[in-house]
Structure 1
């Protein structure tokens, strides 16, 4: 941002942000020196603010009412599952005082707060994401100010109120968690980004880019467009069940939802049949253009079909009556790129299907899909040949390769996945992100290194340069 633009933001928006920052600074100062037990009490309190069943239900209903995205039962599951899993991860970690000791290297590491975190949160998860980020920030003894999507503001305001009430209940400053007052504007959000000590952004790529240009340390994440491969060794029925469960969860609001499946020729027909048995409906090729013209309007995804129920899509696509019973829809495609919009992220109950001659061709196709959209994010493989999984992990430019998973339930952390629970997934430099892992509590810590003398570790010149001298001379 230019200095003139920064001054403009400051003059227009300084007052509300300055007030929030003053309160956050005071609250964080009072919290900064608590011990691990007290920090964990605060984390539990924030988790309970959303996990409590009646609140999860209330906030799920409010989110769907406000945004029109997803469905209530799955949002309840998401709120409780993500919160529970994140709490598990956080309570197992140290974030206060000495957190690591390496006697051999003479190093001891101490965790310190970063200060005040600014969190930009999306409309797809207006209840779960603010709590997820707040829990991680509070684990590090920071304060947090949330800039929510305007579309989900009521939901985020309500959950922030619950978090503040839970903090007060255990005798901690409510202002450890705050929200930007409505209406949320780009200018106010930018002013927050400029003022805080760390910015964490989940949502639009415009917000991510502005965070990285704010001059404040920032963590932003990239767009998803997950492709998965089904090879000829896969358990086709198990793969179909997992893909269905993942694709339809919360009406495909997740960035980890499968957007394309690439099936090798040897099992193509059988795999399609398995997907149909679990509720997939294969749209005939003659109707593909209708799907495209309905899903995209003026080059943008049609907000009236995003994350909506399957019967609504069936009607919009002009499908036969039997399609009303489908759980999701499959459309066959061959091309990738701007001229083939189905090769991109859809945030809808539509799965693009590609046919590949063999695994090598499927791998190439997945690479093309990711190069078009979603590079760095993740991909999936259904197989019994783990050598192929390793090959993908070695060769593909993604942060995560998931094997035999319902992608949505493994990518952002799962009870059968070693990845950290999160709603914010880094995509590395492939999408100009500063992290190539799942956002977790470590990203909210400053680390002090205590360094003490160790026996000298100085190799000889021969040890270091010997191979070079032997091969190329001195």
Structure 2
């Protein structure tokens, strides 16, 4: 038995070693590419997923093999994220000299970080690999994808599409590879140990493994988005935005609204507006049934994970006609923490609703929710009160705060905000991450800073300590 185990370990190591070797050989060729050639490679990856029929085939296969999400939304996600990311990368310098600061005598030269290991989740087995690949290849890196076991078939199809495009433009195919099936923890861990740079989007365990691998990394933590609706919000418009965020792709995204905190002055009106969007408000017994269907022995039940609302209704035994026809479900909650599972990330079309006496209490509730889960990731505010908008910016420890936006679309970049498109969002030190911004091509660049002599600038003691001396003396 021990011999079999050792043989498996050797095979895993040899498999990854060979893949990394091929990646490095491809990078040798890629390193000589001009900016124009590099941009063609990025365009090729984008076209591989955006090309008519490709996003549809990838979405269909992902839904078939993972069983999570919604076909139409997966198609939209692949096309929208790809177009947005390509827009962000278009015209950006990432080869050779990318900046010259004459005054400081600094010239910046971009270089690759090396072979990138990208661990991606089953929720986005097509969109996430393509999105990260575009960014990594922009910096002339090679990338090896470690998909989830259920998402392997989708990632493999994406690889086929990308390699078809690479063949057209004469790019080395080994710039983009995926681990062979069956993918498991051992081969994923081995890939992380041999790669030069790691990015992980997915489960807490995978993120922990990436961040403790000893390798440079840009791993991102869990989300648990909470949005505040204050008394000045546009009720109907806000309800529509929350509905869109909550239900997109059956809530597979870390950026969909998990909880909403509503000021008491507009609470009933807001609940009614959410009902008009297809929300079903569970009574106490239905909430209990829903909780039992969603968690078994404290763990999320895969039978209700990112499923259509009718499936959740059936699993929970919600027999009311309105529940059977609902677009999403609402549960009222007052508690926060492990004893109140609805206060955490759910990956389901279930919205947890809190009532706050005023705006200050709404902020406190939101802080408590994020301190329990999702700290650093993001939150939202629906308001027309500039004072509230300013206050929440100072008080909430999150890297993204969206004002009057659809969270699931806006957090990862949108055409109507200034955040770059991505499917991987850092939570900063609040979330235990190395990055706080949206993952971008910049994270896949090493920069050589060439420093030239400039006229000496030496401050006087008075300039440095004058105000201090005047206040406290020498």
Q: TM-score range by the shorter chain?
A: over 0.9
2:356 match: 356
Whether the aligned pair in 2 keeps the contact of 1:389 and 1:401 (CA below 8 Å) is: no
2:161 and 2:68 map into 1 onto residues whose CA distance is 22
State the alpha-carbon separation in 1 of the partners of residues 204 and 31 from structure 2.
32
- Could you say which residue in structure 1 is the equivalent of 2:400? 400
The answer to whether the aligner puts 1:143 opposite 2:162 as a matched pair is no
Question: Shift in Å at residue 8 of structure 1?
Answer: 11
Map residues 376-391 of structure 1 onto 2, 5 A cutoff: 376-391=376-391
Q: Deviations over 1:354-388 (max 9, x none)?
A: 00000000000000000000000000000011332
What whole-Å deviation, never above 9, does each CA across 1:213-265 have from its counterpart, x for those lacking one?
22211111010000000000000100001110111110000000000000001
For 1:133-282, list aligned pairs within 5 A.
133-282=132-281
Deviation at 1:10, TM superposition (A): 6.8
Q: Please give the alpha-carbon distance, in whole angstroms, between the structure 2 residues aligned to 1:340 and 1:322.
A: 25
Q: d(CA) in 1 for partners of 2:389 and 2:444?
A: 32
Instruction: Show the 5 A alignment for 1:417-456.
Output: 417-456=417-456
State how far apart, in whole Å, the 2-side matches of 1:53 and 1:92 are: 25
Q: Which runs of 5+ in 1 are unaligned?
A: 1-6
Partner residue of 2:372?
372
Question: Does the CA contact (< 8 Å) of 1:193 and 1:211 recur in 2?
Answer: yes
Match of 1:3 in 2: none
Deviation at 1:16, TM superposition (A): 0.1
- TM-superposed deviation, 1:167: 0.9
Q: Which residue of 2 aligns with 1:468?
A: 468
* Structure-2 separation of matches of 1:9 and 1:450: 47
- CA drift of 1:12 comes to 5.3
Secondary structure, counterpart of 1:53 in structure 2 = coil
Contact 1:236–1:271 (8 Å) recurs in 2: yes
Report matched runs for 1:33-72 at 5 Å: 33-72=32-71
Distance in 1, matches of 2:394 and 2:170, equals: 50
TM-score (norm. length: structure 2):
0.97
Aligned equivalents of 1:141 and 1:374: distance in 2? 33
Range with greater deviation from structure 2 (256-265 or 313-322): 313-322
287-296 vs 146-155, which deviates more?
A: 287-296
Name the SS for the 1:151 alignment partner.
coil
Is 2:220–2:424's contact at 8 Å kept on the other side of the alignment?
Answer: yes
1:18 is paired with a residue whose SS is helix
Question: How far off is 1:402 after superposition?
Answer: 0.1
Runs (5+) with no aligned partner, structure 2: 1-5
SS in 2 for 1:150: coil
Partners of 2:375 and 2:344 in 1: CA distance: 11
Q: Distance in 1 between matches of 2:422 and 2:208?
A: 21
CA–CA separation in structure 1 for the residues paired with 2:7 and 2:200:
22
Displacement after TM superposition at 1:56 (Å): 0.6
Deviation at 1:64, TM superposition (A): 0.4
Paired residues in the alignment total 468
Quick check: 1:9–1:187 contact (8 Å CA) kept in 2? no
In 2: Cα distance, 1:317 partner to 1:394 partner: 40
Aligned residue for 1:4? none
2:199–2:219 CA contact under 8 A, matched in 1: yes
Check conservation: 2:204, 2:221, Cα contact below 8 A: yes
- 1: CA distance between counterparts of 2:401 and 2:118? 27
C-alpha RMSD of matched pairs (Å): 1.4
Q: Is the 8 A contact 2:310 2:324 kept in 1?
A: yes
Post-superposition shift, 1:11? Answer: 4.0
Q: Which moved more, 1:7-16 or 1:96-105?
A: 7-16
How far apart in 1 are the matches of 2:248 and 2:50?
19
Q: Distance in 1 between matches of 2:392 and 2:322?
A: 38
- Rounded to whole Å, the distance in 1 between the matches of 2:195 and 2:31 is 16
Who is 2:107 aligned against?
A: 108
C-alpha separation in 2, matches of 1:387 and 1:445: 39
- Partners of 2:451 and 2:457 lie apart in 1 by 15
- Give the Cα–Cα distance (whole angstroms) in 2 for the partners of residues 393 and 164 of structure 1: 44
Following the alignment from structure 1 to structure 2, what is the Cα–Cα distance between the partners of residues 376 and 92? 31
- In 2, the alpha carbon distance for the partners of 1:9 and 1:445 equals 35
For 2:188 and 2:386, how far apart are their aligned partners in 1?
A: 45
- CA offsets 1:290-332 (integer angstroms, 9 cap, x no match): 1111110111111110110011112222221222111001000
Q: 1:210 to 1:251 in 2, by over 3 A?
A: same
Partner Cα distance (2:8, 2:346) in 1: 34
Distance in structure 1 (CA, Å) of the matches to 2:91 and 2:275? 42
Is contact 1:9-1:188 (8 Å) kept? no
In structure 2, what is the equivalent of residue 309 of structure 1?
Answer: 308
Q: Are 2:74 and 1:75 equivalent residues in the alignment?
A: yes
- In the TM superposition, residue 14 of structure 1 has moved relative to its aligned partner by 1.5
Three-state SS of the structure 2 residue aligned to 1:304 is helix
User: Is the contact made by 1:329 and 1:350 (CA closer than 8 Å) also made in structure 2?
Assistant: yes
- Residues 155-196 of structure 1: CA distance to partner in whole angstroms, max 9, x if unpaired? 011101211221111111101000111111211111111111
Cα contact 2:292–2:316 (8 A) shared by 1: no
Name the structure 1 match of 2:3.
none
